[in-house]
Amino acid sequence: MKGKLYIVPTFLSDADSNTILEGNKTVVNTLTCFIVEDVKTARRHLRAMGYKKNFDEEVTFFEWDKHKGNPIHSWLEKCEQGFDVGLMSECGTPCIADPGNLIVKEAQRKNIQVVPMVGANSILLALMASGFSGQQFSFHGYLPIQSADRIKKLRQLEELAKRTGFTQLFMETPFRNESMLRDVFIALQPSTLFHVSCDLTLATEFTATKKIEDWKKEKHTFQKRYCIYAIGV
């Protein structure tokens, strides 16, 4: 009998075990093989989940790099040999704004049972906090880096949100948040509703939805903090 591929959610930022379901912890503690992006981070996350096994003697880690070729086929041989395997990302839920889908795609091709586990996901948490439509929405990942291109894209997303009612979500790397917001204030109309979710699940968590004209009146600092943004109606 083939083993299963478990999609194991981790933490959005700090290793706070309160965001991990007890049922997940129980399953994770049965696993001895993990596909991870960084072994050091994975070990820290597993210990925060209450994982008891000896990493050096009982556990196999397959470390993968999204920028390089990875022997996914050989990693999934563990499942074909009857072992359950856990897939973990650096933070949050694997395969959502995360390249772990390539491993799941191969598992599906091999008829390996894929078991998605419930966990924190910054995109969905931001959508929940925004007050925008959760029935129809799109996530666009990272917008263009160059300011002119980004402003053009923001205007396209604004037009989509107003024409279709679909919530438009996107993200940015923490060190570019301030430049992102400058372009948002240039690109979007004063009456457009704009949402920011920052440091989700942390003590410093911040969520707010306001018109652009109101955002401009206030002073917020999001530089070097993890943010999800949304445009909606």
The reported pLDDT for the residue numbered 197 is 97
Can you point out the beta strands (E) in the chain? Answer: 5-8, 33-36, 60-63, 85-88, 114-116, 137-142, 167-172, 193-198, 206-211, 227-232
Residue 28 CA to residue 16 CA, distance in Å, equals 16
Supply the DSSP string of 55-120, one letter for each residue.
HHHH-EEEE--TTS---HHHHTHHHHTT--EEEE-SSSSTTSSSTTHHHHHHHHHTTPPEEE----
180 three-state secondary structure: helix
Rounded (10°) angle between helices 147-164 and 177-187 = 60
Percent of the chain at pLDDT above 70?
A: 98
Sequence-separated (6 or more) residues with CB below 8 Å from residue 25? 17, 49, 50
The reported pLDDT for the residue numbered 18 is 73
CB distance 130 to 45 below 8 Å: no
Instruction: Name the pLDDT band for 202 (thresholds 50, 70, 90).
Output: confident
CB distance 9 to 93 below 8 Å: yes
The 10s digit of each residue's pLDDT in 52-101 is 999 999 999 999 876 777 788 889 999 999 999 999 988 889 999 888 89
Q: Which amino acid is at 131?
A: G
pTM for this structure? 0.89
Residue 230 CA to residue 227 CA, distance in Å, equals 10
Instruction: Name the pLDDT band for 168 (thresholds 50, 70, 90).
Output: very high
Instruction: Name the pLDDT band for 14 (thresholds 50, 70, 90).
Output: low
